[in-house]
Amino acid sequence: MAKDIPQLDLADLKRLSKAGKIEDVTPESQASSATTSPTEQVKLDDYLPILVALSRPRRYLTAHPTFKPKNLTDSIQFAKISTTYYLDLYINNAWFYVALTAV
């Protein structure tokens, strides 16, 4: 059974802090995010392989996909059924599609 943890109120915390028995600890993950901005952490080079793979020309399918994709680029498919174009996306173990229209 877990050891009971005493409940402390604000007065107890102030008293313990004054006595030097409380240490303020910031988890490392929060400390690093506080010192650097989000734009410094993420670089375009990190996404370059996926962007290159997505920019390659792809053949469109003649029916909606039914296979389970092996990677992220396989989870994005284009289909032309009759005269309508579709964007098919694999999300949460299921295929979803959106009909595309010209602007």
Give the domain ranges of the chain.
Answer: 57-103
Q: What is the pTM of this model?
A: 0.51
For range 21-46, the mean pLDDT: 67
Maximum alpha-carbon separation in the chain:
78
**Cα–Cα distance measured from residue 4 to residue 6, given in angstroms and rounded to the nearest whole number:** 6
- Is the pLDDT reported for residue 86 higher than 60? yes
Residue 66 or residue 32, greater confidence:
66
pLDDT > 70? residue 89: yes
Edge-to-edge strands, sheet with 76-81: 76-81, 84-91, 94-100
Looking at the predicted structure, is the pLDDT value of residue 74 above 60?
Answer: yes
For the cut 60, the answer to whether the pLDDT of residue 1 exceeds it is: no
